[in-house]
Amino acid sequence: MTTSISEIRKDFPLLMSNDVIYLDTAATSQKPSCVLEAERTFYEKYNANPLRGLYELGEAATEKYEEAREAVREF
């Protein structure tokens, strides 16, 4: 199975909206839309220190943190 570069670029907003080739991944890497959406959801609904707070928001952040760790482990 092959995937074209243009198909990959569709997942990355910066690469779709600009005529750019990004090679500075030592400093930071571009994030696909699904990651940006997940980060936005976290910051809008669960933005607290995971594994630290014993309050409702902190516990929700910890739950989301652990869910993400489990998803990575399963991957």
Instruction: Quote the tokens at residue 51.
Output: 């594994």
Do the Cβ atoms of 33 and 27 come closer than 8 Å? no
Provide the number of structural domains found in the chain: 1
Q: How confident is the model at residue 25 (pLDDT cuts 50, 70, 90)?
A: confident
Task: For residue 35, give the nearest of 17, 4, 60, 14 by alpha carbon.
Answer: 14
This prediction's pTM: 0.74
State the residue for tokens 């092959």.
Answer: 2
- What percent of the chain is predicted at pLDDT more than 70? 100
State the average pLDDT over residues 20-45: 91
Q: How confident is the model at residue 67 (pLDDT cuts 50, 70, 90)?
A: very high
Question: Could you tell me the residue range of the domain that residue 24 belongs to?
Answer: 5-74
Amino acid, single-letter form, for residue 59: E
pLDDT given for residue 1 in this prediction? 74
